[in-house]
Structure 1
Amino acid sequence: MTSWIVKIGKNTPEHWGFARDDQFWDVREPGSFKKIRPGEDVFFWLSGTGFQSWVRTTSSLYPIGIHARTAHWVDRDTGGYTHRFEFEVISDDVTDPATWSKLQDAAGRNYAPPAPANPVDEPSAEAFLRTRFGRGSDRTFESAGLPISYRYGDDLRERAKSEIVLRKGQSKFRDSLLAAYGSTCAVTGSTVTAVLEAAHIDRYYGEHTNHVTNGLLLRSDIHTLFDLRQFTIADDMTILLAPWLRDSEYAYLHGCTIRMPSDTHLRLNREALARHRESCDWA
């Protein structure tokens, strides 16, 4: 797969912080971005400074629809953004911001000055990019316990470079969902505990969002589809698949009713579900 260097404008360095929290990147013109595919590595480069982060794409570039999640860019209303791709953070623990000339030396070729999106195909250059980063993102989040109630709120995560939260680290949240759902996937009915994961409905915005009513116990592949907004849940608790999945191996799930905890106090937060539906451009 191709790797990419994506430029952050020197006049808007704060855009990386917003993108990290939003988990997507908006662009004005598709250009080279339209060649980006899911699973490819992207290295964000801040003009005049160097590398800022290493991420992996979870979607191709797609048009920003009228129901898309609102970005937090400082110029979101005037920037003329038309397209978006989504990603997950691999690491923003930069051990060496590097320079453009060092990258060229590693690749053994000249690169054009950083364009909005530069493809990198040389194995030596890709290796050089990866070794500019530590793996701070792999450190898991240590939960101190679950909150007594769920509330939607501001992002309470510390933005330290090496503190990127991974879902497998949230063991207490997962344990609470295993208990609430009887160790059964809410969508597929799978009881293979090893592949059951704790999914957030509202994205993780601090420990107050680690509440059972903001969670679903899902098989790992179903969790990925849910996070990628490939399916959502209607107000009557039936599953809505994205149109392009309705002819896939997941087609049988469309219209099915999800399983619910027997304890009514642990059932899904409907406001959070509504926000998830609103974030699905196709829904």
Structure 2
Amino acid sequence: MSIVWSDEELRAAVEAYRQMARNQEAGISFNRSQIYSELATRFGRTASAFEYRMQNISAVYQELGMPWIPGLRPAKHVGSRSAARLINIIQQEGPEAANGVAQRDGLVWEKALAAVTHLGGVASRNQVKAWILDQDPEYDTDNLSDLYMLSVNSPSRTSYSQNARPRRTDEGSPFDRLFKVGRGIFEIYDPVQHGVWEIYADAASGNRNRMSIRRVSNPVDQALANAEELAQQAGSFDPSSVVDSRDRVTAEIVRRRGQPAFRKALMDAYGGACVITGCNLPAVLEAAHVHPYKGDDTNVVSNGLLLRADIHTLFDLGLIAIESKNMCVRVSPELASTSYAELDGVQLHKPVKKALQVSKDALDWHRSQCGWFGMNEDEVKPEPSV
């Protein structure tokens, strides 16, 4: 038997998976082992091979934000080519294709966008599903994968026919409308906040369209360029302004250190040491907001980190992030040739009390804003309430 699975075998596996899902939803009992055995007899493979393939299908469903069958835990090691073929089959041979109804055309994809918009600009897949079904009880929930098709930073979007050709997200395409900020969580795409992305030809991508995505402009870089231009416009050196300039510098240091009460709370929480480097020189320690400052509600210890001044700058620029599942530091590839690369994998220092721990939701939100980190489709969360 060939090691490589044929399209016929993959289609049969996907159809069997769909039938099991339908039976489960309808409360109809079924025997998974018998289904695997029948497929094994039909194609000359082992039943265990089909069982593992079903777990691969669960992994693809999870990537597409679709519910997978409990008991068939996603097996991640699908292989890029097999994953691309499964995505193609799942998307192109769903119930709507079998019925000869082109549900994915016309206005169907706009329902997903309308749901996110009406739900306040950020919504989970389940919230979108509930909103659409309330408007249209006949809606085929397989079409919720349109959320990924519309998301400029979702790698799986390049498997869709709407995204089969190269383009940038600043060219006005109607399909560049959402930004993925979590597993199954989406917000309205804003190029100023999220940067410009592009779909580009990539023969090594592994998907049927041979396309991949990447961010081509960083909003932080643009903000820095604007700040540098303003600094240059400030004019030449004027000795008479030295005192005023010194006052401004002092004020800037105070501002960067953070609001006094917020900074003191973080100094106490982390024993007066940078949570990444361990530096304990108070003069260079600053109170960093994980989620940007938006008034007193964000001035809480769970939304803060005590950082050395240079680390604070890198954190704000999205060049350093924290992986919440293991509380490890992750460093952007842009810093690979610098001494900061040594910080990658460093464990975040713990506060003196567990109750003072930084919010994992806030860390995941910050991580989702780092273009270099968002490409891996890891689970991240929406803008948190801290």
Determine which structure has greater relative contact order: mean sequence separation of CA pairs < 8 Å that are 6+ residues apart, divided by chain length.
1
**TM-score, normalization: structure 2?**
0.35
Structure showing greater Rg: 2
Greater strand share, structure number: 1
Greater helix share, structure number: 2
